[in-house]
Amino acid sequence: MARELASASSNSTSGTRVRRAEPPRLGRQHAIVHAFHQALRGKTEGAAPPRILIESPKLLGEALRSRLRIEAVLFTPVGWKQHGVRLGTQLSKHTSTGLVEEAVLRSAVDVETPAGLAALAQPPQVRLEDFWSDPEPTPSLVVVAAGIQDPGNLGTLLRVAEAFGAQGLVSLKGGVSLWRPKTIRASAGALFRLPALDGVEAERWLEFCRSRGARLIAATPRSGKPPEELDWRGRVSLLIGGEGAGLPRAFQRAAEAVSLPMHAQTESLNASVAGAILLYLAWRHRM
Amino acid sequence: MARELASASSNSTSGTRVRRAEPPRLGRQHAIVHAFHQALRGKTEGAAPPRILIESPKLLGEALRSRLRIEAVLFTPVGWKQHGVRLGTQLSKHTSTGLVEEAVLRSAVDVETPAGLAALAQPPQVRLEDFWSDPEPTPSLVVVAAGIQDPGNLGTLLRVAEAFGAQGLVSLKGGVSLWRPKTIRASAGALFRLPALDGVEAERWLEFCRSRGARLIAATPRSGKPPEELDWRGRVSLLIGGEGAGLPRAFQRAAEAVSLPMHAQTESLNASVAGAILLYLAWRHRM
């Protein structure tokens, strides 16, 4: 797919001057449009990495500031008039651009009323080994999403993880994908900056934590210690479970349980809200 | 509307034995179905109070446990088979029931796939004077939603307000209504139990706080004190602003500002997440 995208950008290889010219018109069957459809369905071809689907000028601005590699941008004619010139100078010569009809753009995005453009970007390259890679075990926390099914919750968790100084986020196999458009929107750009890994096996994460001397703390609705009684310094992996299934068994044995004290009438809080409170407390405690 | 609903329930005035019998079939034009449509659009007739639209068996169970006055329940034939007998014994003789076709039920609810039933309930009666009505100024906090536009955020705020021991929630004029179906769903039943007032004038709330000796604390994205440095005891009104507009001016002068310390890259947190963290800290501080 990368080669297809590259070849479609041939009209723009000579730099920003050409970039300011109106991009070529593309039909619904064009390879670039196809790449958007694939990204929308969360599909990847061969060994290609997942793509980030960006659906608003604001989010595209965030992606550019975060130096993501933008592979393609589709504009409607109106979107091009509004945003094309300003964005054109910021896009590199490796970015394919195209003009499409409103209906084609709508078919390529997850939102009902697209804002005149959509873009595809490569996610930042992150490896498991990037976490806790400093030789000294400095205080740092990695959030682990364990079976979160709601993309809005996962996106919010990314946003609070960044806000409260987490080193990154790991999403375990079995939860919703990090690269779902709604996750990306809900993260408000945090996914472009915070090191994040998708689809990691629970056992692999457990082993990795052992090898790096990281302690596991798992949020549970009841029966854990209050967060104020735990030690959040050193290397900590904070597990936030999904709405229903709870934590993988391997973690239940290995992790210390933490529970937010709450009113008896409340059954539970949603994952992103509980995560936000714990991440805030952990951050303040590490300071 | 109340009289119409009462007259339609004539087949069930003799108690739970009759309640177990299949309810009458109602057409799309029936007064009860009309009452659901009004509630769905957030409309009230004359001096009638707003209605709570309940869209799932689980939420109806919560409403019954919370002793809400259930005015009407519509079932599809399948919904009646699944839930009718069990619920029938819990419904009072003042509750009208009816059987409607799937399409009619769908027209009466906010969700795409209704779960076989929908109910209308009267919200609990709450007056401004119910807040801080104890003669001694015991530690207690009332959350004020100031211009929150997203019903999901407002519902989550209700849920965390209950979880962390707030005395109630007041929604100021200009924000989304407490009685929107999505607010009700997101509150997960908290709206049935927590004293909550909708559409209160900012000036009126300010005066009321003064008359009861309650301090105002307002959440702001930056420039306020960290929450750990504030005194959360006594009577406190915690203002959570909307996503965009910020706080009404009258409050800016009268309130102490609180801000969650966060990473420089994060612009802001959404209202319900910031509210959750502040409410948790305030609750722990009051203990």
Interface test with A, best of B143, B158, B266 (most A CBs within 10 A): B266
Q: Do A160 and B269 touch (CB under 8 A)?
A: yes
Residues of B in contact with A228 (CB under 8 A): 284
Q: Do A277 and B272 touch (CB under 8 A)?
A: no
Q: Looking at the complex, does the CB of residue B66 fall below 8 Å from at least one CB of chain A?
A: no
Nearest CB partner across the interface for B165, out of A228, A263, A270: A263
The B residues from 211 to 240 touching A (CB cutoff 8 Å) are: 228
Q: Looking at the complex, does the CB of residue A259 fall below 8 Å from at least one CB of chain B?
A: no
Lowest mean pLDDT, pick from A88-102, B37-51, B101-115, B141-155: B37-51
Nearest to B280 by CA among A2, A282, A44, A80: A282
- For the residues A177-189, what does the mean pLDDT come to? 90
B119-131 residue pLDDT tens: 999 988 899 999 9
Nearest CB partner across the interface for A277, out of B265, B266, B276: B276
Write down the pTM of the prediction: 0.85
Q: Which residue has the tokens 């309650």?
A: B214
Residues of A in contact with B272 (CB under 8 A): 273
Nearest to A128 by CA among A60, A210, A68, A54: A210
Q: What pLDDT is attached to residue B18?
A: 44
Taken in order A59, A61, A67, A73, is the CA torsion positive or negative?
positive
Nearest residue of B to residue A189, measured between CA atoms: B266
| pLDDT bucket at A120, cuts 50 / 70 / 90 | very high
**What φ, ψ does residue A255 adopt, rounded to 5°?**
-105, 150
- Whether B138 shows a pLDDT value over 90: the answer reads no
Predicted-complex ipTM score = 0.84
Q: Looking at the complex, does the CB of residue B195 fall below 8 Å from at least one CB of chain A?
A: no
Q: Do A163 and B277 touch (CB under 8 A)?
A: no
Q: Looking at the complex, does the CB of residue B163 fall below 8 Å from at least one CB of chain A?
A: yes
Residues of B in contact with A262 (CB under 8 A): 163-164
Nearest to B273 by CA among A139, A111, A49, A157: A157
- Whether B283 shows a pLDDT value over 70: the answer reads yes
| Cα–Cα separations (whole angstroms), residue B264 to A165, A192, B6, B222 | 10, 15, 58, 10
Nearest to A77 by CA among A45, A46, A103, A101: A101
Q: Looking at the complex, does the CB of residue B166 fall below 8 Å from at least one CB of chain A?
A: no
- Whether B189 shows a pLDDT value over 70: the answer reads yes
- Whether A167 shows a pLDDT value over 90: the answer reads yes
Contacts of B17 (CB under 8 A, 6+ apart): none
